[in-house]
Amino acid sequence: MKDRFEAVDAVVRDACGTAFTAAVARIERGGALCFERAYGVTRADAEGRPVFLDTRFDLASLTKLFVATLVLRAVAEKRLGLDEIVVPPSITARMLLAHDSGMNSGADYRLLLDHNVETFALEEPLVATPGERVIYSDLGFIVIGVLLERLDGCALSSIVERFFARPTLGFRPAAAERRSIPATEDDGWRGRVQGSVHDEKAHLMGGVAGHAGLFGTAADVAALTEGYLGSLCGRDRALLPDALVREAVSEQAYDPVLRRGLGWALKTNDANSCGRFFSSTSFGHTGFVGTCVWADPERDLQGVLLTNSVYFGRNDIRDLRAAFYEAAAEATAR
């Protein structure tokens, strides 16, 4: 009998070795695992090791989804209001989560070498009026990390560890683990990065930041996503109250390229990385190093694709991602 996920497998398998050295692909429908495979090696040289289903990847900006969930938890516990001003004079938690705070997108790491990055993020002049337009902002999520630490009175790494309680999810992998983690870019500054965060700003912050720095498995990302998808589809309601879940995946800030929820990106057109077949209610996120997740409530379907595509350079892999999600939608439609 023909494997109905043959096309999904082919998309990832055929790109392995050219678009990335390592990948884990995972698809769930109805909250149940229906496809998961590992591909490739951790690096394309003699030091490469095989990749397994439980291999930890640099999650890059998928970190933002976990951090946004921590903010929503604080909202659910009434320790924070979404429309409470958290950065005077007028930036709210909602604006930070929806990327319309007016904060700059980021900063060249070379400008930050002599700065405290958190202070820089808090004090850098705005580039737009708060609420005016979407500017995808690492600086905004760095500020969110600071906010969470102030709310909880402990380090962001400890908050993540306590709330999510997944042994493979966390910041700053131990030295003994690093060779088993897929390498990312040879960035000309640190050499070949492996087992430490690729993002330069997070690196300057000691590997712990609100915008990047988490390492985890495809199962870790899928578990977080199921906390939202399951709630929308009448299953698990343990992560957040249903009303907050619905708000998180509803449009909070419009952008013609990619609308924004609370932490989540929302499908805006068929050019988005979830491809043509995921519905307009789909929500997801991508990470610079080659990671992504998308979920479609109408299909009750989610897919996680973790790769280390920056190993071969900063190339656009939108078409690869779209092909993966289109194949996943077709495989689960029958």
- For position 115, what pLDDT does the model report? 78
> How open is the CA angle 145-147-152, to the nearest 5 degrees?
95
d(CA 134, CA 255): 6
Report the domain count for the chain: 1
Flag whether 158 is in a domain: no
Flag whether 75 is in a domain: no
Strands (E), 152-199: 170-171
pTM of the model: 0.97
109-157 pLDDT, tens per residue? Answer: 777 777 789 998 999 999 999 999 999 999 999 999 999 999 999 999 9
% the chain with pLDDT above 90: 93
Flag whether 122 is in a domain: no
Flag whether 33 is in a domain: yes
d(CA 221, CA 94): 23
For residue 295, the enclosing domain spans: 6-62+215-331
- For position 1, what pLDDT does the model report? 34
For the segment 169-192, the average pLDDT, to the nearest whole number, is 96
Flag whether 176 is in a domain: no
Task: Give the end-to-end CA distance of the chain in Å, rounded to a whole number.
Answer: 14
Flag whether 257 is in a domain: yes
The CATH number of residue 263's host domain is 3.40.710.10
d(CA 172, CA 214): 8
Do 64 and 44 touch, CB atoms closer than 8 A? no
Flag whether 208 is in a domain: no
Flag whether 258 is in a domain: yes
d(CA 172, CA 195): 8
For the segment 3-26, the average pLDDT, to the nearest whole number, is 97
